[in-house]
Amino acid sequence: MVKTIKRYEGSKKQQVIEIIFDACKRRGIFEFDNEFVKQVTGGVKFANQFDATKVDHSAKLPVKVREARYFILHLGQGRHAFVKGIDDGYHTFEAINEKDRIDWRYRKSVLNEADTSESNVLAVAANQRIIHDFLYEDIVAEPKIYFARRTKCSFRFSVGALKYEAENIQMEIDLTFEYRGNITVLEAKNGFPKDFAVYQLYNPYRTFIESRKAGLKGIEQVSCCYVLRSKTGGNSVLRLYEYTFKKPHDLASIALKKAAEYRLVRR
């Protein structure tokens, strides 16, 4: 029987997630698939029901789900799970020390900040050599750059003590830098959200870890870099965070390597 949404609040996506969450609680099983999503939300007019489970920031989860301390984990092949332990699924961006706040002089080009896309965020950070300075402390470093691509990967992993298996999980890698055997996958967002879904970095990270295990030679280290951009007083401010995973098989083991803020100052 299709459930109504009369008692649900928030955005359409939040309503859909809460319906799925309640249905999982009633049956006592917290793993579900896209067919289950379709069944329990069939009465809700939602543009893309299969997009309902993608939540980049914890603030976008329904209040009920946040208060119950659950997050949504993606397992590939249209499978998902509600997992207890929201702090494992979402990582709070760290505060940046004043000594790591940098005034970065630059001359604005025609297409710099021409739009608010994630690709533009990364283009500005790369073209202005901010990524080079942050990752390598060398603005003349010449890393190989690989542009956005979609891929799939299968791997076993854990979230703390909980064990899972991802099967042909789909992902989009925004940008990849390769420099002297060091691989860095980059993710970008406009604005300064409080936190982010860890799988956004973990899945691309595991893709390269699995490639190395499968025999891809030359990979020394794999890390992840999150790039955020916002405007303050008409000037862009970029925040960069480099992360690794202390235990490659544990999504919950994310750890900050370093962070910095670059305030673009026009010449």
Listed by start position, the domains of the chain span 12-84, 92-266
**147: number of Cβ within 10 Å:** 10
Dihedral over Cα of 244, 250, 251, 254: its sign: negative
Q: What is the pLDDT of residues 183-197, one digit of tens each?
A: 999 999 999 999 999
DSSP bridge pairs for 73? 81
* Per-chain mean pLDDT for the chain: 92
pLDDT band at residue 107 under the 50/70/90 scheme: confident
**What share of the chain has pLDDT > 90, as a percent?**
80
Lowest mean pLDDT across 4-13, 84-93, 151-160:
4-13
Query: Is residue 202 pLDDT above 70, yes or no?
Result: yes
| pTM for the full predicted model | 0.93
Mean pLDDT of 232-245: 91
**What share of the chain has pLDDT > 70, as a percent?**
94
**256: number of Cβ within 10 Å:** 12
Mean pLDDT of 215-244: 93
